[in-house]
């Protein structure tokens, strides 16, 4: 009996990890790219929310959810580009601009999103990878969103590119030693501009997942700070795209603790368990503050590590 | 003037018997606002020569090479490479023409490996890097070089000498055939410096490269350079073949007619009792590494103990420990056999004063006024304060005026922000604060770094004066000449420990150098 309960909970956690980790993953990968280039973009929460509404609206009007995903990425890239552009002006602090961009992003998302709370847009279809198990619960848990797979592929590409491509090395160089990059004739501002825009593109796609897959509708409380948590997650993942994926899955799983326990009848502390990802974020921040390993792997040009 | 005729037609890339580039910069002028940084300077480097560029800080050496490298554009003047007129608009142009520069500060990216640094520095770095092929090419390249450096570990983990070698290897890898080195040996042990400069000299003798070296070390000029040019206040004041000049001539050219205040003479005196004693000091740095590894040292009254060592062997950390900026993990500091905690109270009671390195950062608040900064030791004591907390500005300002006059601090008024003063004047202002009272213990670190001759002589004589008055002086310096000039005893610091102590009369540069390198 007990075993059955544990299995149920574990399956629910697995399902949760696979279901809700995708936006964490995309935002974290985007932030990872931006931070590797030496800049922090705290505005990705706003990017996530704007991406969600743009994806929903595009999907509603065009009938194609994938077009919505691309549009969300485009909107994110624009927000990232604004951040990247403003930050290269003299004496501009990227943290302050990030917070401003976060408020700006959520603001315009709410403004344009009013009209899309009611209508229903076509959503992304899941891939059923669990049919072979013959277990209904497991099959449900293994219903995987195609964006998750795309995210994992992007993570591997980024990991490979940071070590094996000219662009990857230029990004790392700009993030670790801007004077060295400049002495080499590299335009650090351009690299960071592009990295921030690229990071915004990924975060926007994360937003598309929220409105087009899970929870799968547009409302103002959609993100509830996931974009901010993803920034913390990058520190936890120590600026490694593969570890970003693992960390995103871990966050997804903790987010599913509450519903998983509820599904087996543990209703006490439901809201407490729902707060698990936030508590985890706090613990990670405290834990990594003293971590010398994390300090060593941090890009040297980040304003938070300087 | 001008390169030999045979060189003129040589294409830039094709390997030839003489690959070194000749440079001819004529009548270069560059102004920054009202300051004339370069005034009609002409400068010729023959192919395959090792050319020293001498001058004090602010003489225009850096401006000259930055104009050549395309960081600045000179208002007038012309550049010729191997006799052909060239225009260099930015550093990229300079690189394409075969001019490379090694900066005082390393330009390698710390988190990238040596191999990654080299490959990405190439203008034609491939979009997708085939590491197998590149590693092979790098190995072939290293086989042709007179020296090597590790390529497979992140640059951050290399020693200073290895980094410097890698910087030079990078330029050679990029096929730069005129290398400009900006004080290349400041972070190296004497042995490392001799090795690297000797190898470069060998390459110039084989006419593979030409070298321009900015320096103020006469020893390196006479040992390695064949030509020199001396700049003073933006003008070219002399030059020629090194063998035709004595170091006295060079010094005269560099300093000009500036009056040097007479040095405080070392009075012969018997040293007193031990005042400052460091017992097994241990301290940790980043990643829990021991940056101080059991430092033992005694300083007696009326003597200067000079701590020599290559930059980064724990000297900064020792200074930080002594001034209370870094906690000790073990060991103790004794003043007259009493345990000492670096608190403001104890500094005041035991009359301990100090001049840390980079005083603008470590001993002042840049945006506060000169008067306020000068009152840091005394602002809460009468007459500056009543009841210990009610401060009055007038006595502080009056005292600052006295000190400014006595220590010849050049400032517009006592109310000027100290950050607006020049380096030498910040140094003097802090010294004025620290030396104005009764000093029992004086701890100074790199007191003359980056200063002109007049300030250097001035500050050294102040330190000597304190010694003559009976203070115990600990002088931590990366400038061996300074230690040889001032110290009564020399201690060498290597890898966080004092590895050698000797009276100044019983040791010499070579022995100290050996210990600095840790080979003894």
Residue B259 has pLDDT above 70, yes or no: no
Residues of A in contact with B110 (CB under 8 A): 176-177, 300
Distance CA B95, CA B70 (A): 9
Q: What is the count of residue pairs from A and B with beta carbons less than 8 Å apart?
A: 61
Per-residue confidence (pLDDT) for residue B16, from 0 to 100 = 46
Question: Is A183 an interface residue toward B (CB < 8 Å)?
Answer: yes
Per-residue confidence (pLDDT) for residue B12, from 0 to 100 = 44
* Most A CBs within 10 Å, among B109, B129, B133, B170, to test the A interface: B109
Per-residue confidence (pLDDT) for residue B1, from 0 to 100 = 39
Is residue A233 classed exposed, middle or buried when 0-12, 13-18 and 19+ CB atoms within 10 A define those classes?
A: buried
Question: Is A176 an interface residue toward B (CB < 8 Å)?
Answer: yes
Residue B345 has pLDDT above 90, yes or no: no
**What values do phi and psi take at B293, rounded to 5?**
-125, 75
The shortest CB-CB distance from A176 to any of B106, B109, B287 is to: B109
Condensed to tens digits (0 to 9), the pLDDT of residues B398-411 reads 999 999 988 888 88
Residues of A in contact with B65 (CB under 8 A): none
Task: Give the contacts of A150 (CB within 8 A, at least 6 positions apart).
Answer: A205
Per-residue confidence (pLDDT) for residue B258, from 0 to 100 = 57
Q: Which residues of chain A have pLDDT under 70?
A: 1, 289-295, 304-306
- Per the model's pLDDT, the better-predicted residue between B261 and A71 turns out to be A71
Per-residue confidence (pLDDT) for residue B278, from 0 to 100 = 94
Per-residue confidence (pLDDT) for residue A289, from 0 to 100 = 67
Residues of A in contact with B285 (CB under 8 A): none
Q: Output the CA–CA distances (angstroms, integers) from residue B352 to A76, A181, B18, B228, B341, in the order listed.
A: 59, 44, 60, 44, 12
Please state the pTM of the whole predicted model.
0.77
Per-residue confidence (pLDDT) for residue A304, from 0 to 100 = 66
- Among B69-73, B179-183, B447-451, B473-477, the least confident range: B447-451
Per-residue confidence (pLDDT) for residue B5, from 0 to 100 = 40
| Residue range(s) occupied by CATH 3.40.50.300 in chain B | 23-110+175-255, 272-351+439-520
Give residue limits of the domains in chain A.
3-305
Residue B520 has pLDDT above 60, yes or no: no
In a 3-state reduction of DSSP, which class is residue B381?
coil
* Mean pLDDT for the stretch of residues B342-349: 88
CA nearest B206: which of B2, B25, B15? B15
Per-residue confidence (pLDDT) for residue A293, from 0 to 100 = 67
Residue corresponding to tokens 């004077």:
A179
Per-residue confidence (pLDDT) for residue B9, from 0 to 100 = 40
- Among B7-21, B191-205, B424-438, the least confident range: B7-21
Does an H or E element contain B493, and which?
strand B489-494
Q: Which tokens hold the place of A251?
A: 């966050």
Residue B444 has pLDDT above 60, yes or no: yes
DSSP letter for A1, please.
-
* Mean pLDDT for the stretch of residues B177-201: 84
Residues of B in contact with A176 (CB under 8 A): 109-112
Per-residue confidence (pLDDT) for residue A261, from 0 to 100 = 83
Residue B460 has pLDDT above 50, yes or no: yes
Per-residue confidence (pLDDT) for residue B263, from 0 to 100 = 58
Average pLDDT value for chain B: 85
CATH of B23-110+175-255, one of 3.40.50.300, 3.30.750.24, 2.60.40.10, 3.20.20.150: 3.40.50.300
Using the beta-carbon criterion (under 8 Å), do B110 and A177 form an inter-chain contact?
A: yes
Per-residue confidence (pLDDT) for residue B509, from 0 to 100 = 82
Fold of A3-305: ABC transporter involved in vitamin B12 uptake, BtuC (1.10.3470)
Question: Is A185 an interface residue toward B (CB < 8 Å)?
Answer: yes
Residue B333 has pLDDT above 60, yes or no: yes
**What values do phi and psi take at A131, rounded to 5?**
-60, -35
Residue B208 has pLDDT above 80, yes or no: yes
For domain B272-351+439-520, which architecture applies?
A: 3-Layer(aba) Sandwich (3.40)
Per-residue confidence (pLDDT) for residue B406, from 0 to 100 = 86
* Mean pLDDT for the stretch of residues B125-141: 91
Residue B10 has pLDDT above 50, yes or no: no
- Per the model's pLDDT, the better-predicted residue between A294 and B10 turns out to be A294
- Among A135-139, B173-177, B368-372, B479-483, the least confident range: A135-139
Residue B261 has pLDDT above 60, yes or no: no
Question: Is A172 an interface residue toward B (CB < 8 Å)?
Answer: yes
Distance in Å, alpha carbon of A183 to nearest chain B alpha carbon = 7
Per-residue confidence (pLDDT) for residue B193, from 0 to 100 = 84
Residues of B in contact with A167 (CB under 8 A): 127
CA nearest A17: which of A283, A245, A265? A245
CA nearest B473: which of B299, B322, B351, B356? B299
Using the beta-carbon criterion (under 8 Å), do B120 and A165 form an inter-chain contact?
A: no
Using the beta-carbon criterion (under 8 Å), do A169 and B116 form an inter-chain contact?
A: yes
Q: Please state, as a whole number, how many other Cβ atoms lie within 10 Å of the Cβ of residue B250.
A: 21
Condensed to tens digits (0 to 9), the pLDDT of residues B358-396 reads 888 888 998 999 999 999 888 888 888 888 788 888 899
């Amino acid at each position: 009996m007990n075993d059955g309960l544990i299995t149920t909970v574990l399956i629910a956690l697995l399902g949760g990890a696979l279901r809700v980790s995708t936006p964490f993953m995309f935002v974290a990968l985007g932030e990872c790219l931006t931070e590797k280039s030496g800049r922090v973009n705290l505005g990705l929460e706003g990017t996530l929310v704007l991406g969600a509404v743009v994806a929903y609206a595009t999907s509603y009007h065009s009938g194609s959810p994938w077009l919505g995903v691309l549009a969300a990425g485009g909107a994110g890239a624009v927000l990232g580009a604004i951040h990247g552009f403003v930050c290269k002006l003299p004496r501009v602090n990227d943290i302050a601009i990030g917070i401003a961009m976060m408020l700006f992003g959520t603001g315009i998302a709410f403004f344009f999103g009013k009209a899309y709370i009611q209508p229903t847009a076509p959503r992304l279809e899941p891939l059923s990878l669990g049919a072979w198990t013959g277990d209904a619960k497991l099959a449900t848990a293994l219903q995987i969103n195609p964006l998750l797979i795309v995210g994992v592929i992007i993570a591997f590409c980024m990991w490979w590119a940071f070590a094996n491509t000219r662009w990857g090395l230029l990004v790392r160089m700009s993030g670790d030693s801007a004077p060295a990059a400049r002495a080499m004739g590299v335009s650090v501002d351009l690299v960071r501009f592009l990295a921030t825009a690229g990071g915004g593109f990924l975060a926007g796609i994360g937003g598309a997942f929220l409105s087009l897959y899970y929870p799968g509708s547009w409302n103002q409380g959609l993100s509830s700070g996931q974009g901010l948590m993803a920034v913390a997650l990058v520190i936890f993942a120590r600026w490694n795209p593969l570890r970003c994926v693992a960390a995103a899955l871990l966050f997804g799983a903790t987010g599913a603790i509450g519903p998983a326990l509820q599904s087996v009848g543990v209703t006490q502390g439901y809201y407490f368990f729902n707060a698990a990802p936030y508590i985890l974020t706090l613990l990670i921040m405290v834990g990594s503050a003293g971590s010398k390993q994390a300090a060593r792997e941090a890009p040297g040009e980040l304003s938070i590590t300087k | 003037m001008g390169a030999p005729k045979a060189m003129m037609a040589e294409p830039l890339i094709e390997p030839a018997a003489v690959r070194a580039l000749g440079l001819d910069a004529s009548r270069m002028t560059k102004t920054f606002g009202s300051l004339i940084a370069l005034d009609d300077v002409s400068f010729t480097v023959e192919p395959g020569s090792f050319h020293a560029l001498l001058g004090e800080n602010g003489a225009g050496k850096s401006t000259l090479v930055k104009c050549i490298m395309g960081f600045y554009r000179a208002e007038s003047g012309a550049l010729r490479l191997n006799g052909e007129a060239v225009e260099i608009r930015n550093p990229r142009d300079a690189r394409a023409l075969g001019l490379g520069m090694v900066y005082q500060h390393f330009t390698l990216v710390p988190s990238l490996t040596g191999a990654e640094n080299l490959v990405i520095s190439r203008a034609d770095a491939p979009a997708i890097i085939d590491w197998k092929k590149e590693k092979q090419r790098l190995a072939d390249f290293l086989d042709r070089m007179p020296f090597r450096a590790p390529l497979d570990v992140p640059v951050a983990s290399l020693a200073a000498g290895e980094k410097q070698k890698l910087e030079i290897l990078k330029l050679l890898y990029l096929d730069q055939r005129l290398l400009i080195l900006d004080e290349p040996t400041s972070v190296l042990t004497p042995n490392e410096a001799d090795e690297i400069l000797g190898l470069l000299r060998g390459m110039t003798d084989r006419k593979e490269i030409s070298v321009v070296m900015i320096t103020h070390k006469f020893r390196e000029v006479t040992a390695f350079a064949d030509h020199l040019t001396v700049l003073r206040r933006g003008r070219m004041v002399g030059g020629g073949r090194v063998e035709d000049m004595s170091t006295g001539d060079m010094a005269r050219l560099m300093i000009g007619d500036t009056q040097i205040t007479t040095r405080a003479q070392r009075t012969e005196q018997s040293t007193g009792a031990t005042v400052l004693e460091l017992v097994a000091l241990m301290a940790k740095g980043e990643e829990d590494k021991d940056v101080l590894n059991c430092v033992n040292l005694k300083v007696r009254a009326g003597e200067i103990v000079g701590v020599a060592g290559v930059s980064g062997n724990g000297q900064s950390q020792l200074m930080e420990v002594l001034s209370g900026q870094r906690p000790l993990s073990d060991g103790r500091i004794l003043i007259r056999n009493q345990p000492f905690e670096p608190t403001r109270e104890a500094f005041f009671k035991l009359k301990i004063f100090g001049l840390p390195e980079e005083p603008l950062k470590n001993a002042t608040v840049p945006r506060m006024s000169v008067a306020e900064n000068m009152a840091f030791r005394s602002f809460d004591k009468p007459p500056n304060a009543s009841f210990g907390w009610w401060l009055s500005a007038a006595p502080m300002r009056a005292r600052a005026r006295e000190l400014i006059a006595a220590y010849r601090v050049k400032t517009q008024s006592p109310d000027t922000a100290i950050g607006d003063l020049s380096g030498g004047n910040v140094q003097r202002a802090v010294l004025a604060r620290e030396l104005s009272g009764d000093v029992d213990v004086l701890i100074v670190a790199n007191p003359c770094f980056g200063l002109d001759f007049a300030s250097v002589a001035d500050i050294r004589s102040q330190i000597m004066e304190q010694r003559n008055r009976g203070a115990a002086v600990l002088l931590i310096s990366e400038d061996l000449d300074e230690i040889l000039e001032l110290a009564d005893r020399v201690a060498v610091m290597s890898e966080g420990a004092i590895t050698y102590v000797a009276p100044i009369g019983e040791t010499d540069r070579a022995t100290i150098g050996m210990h600095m390198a840790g080979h003894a």
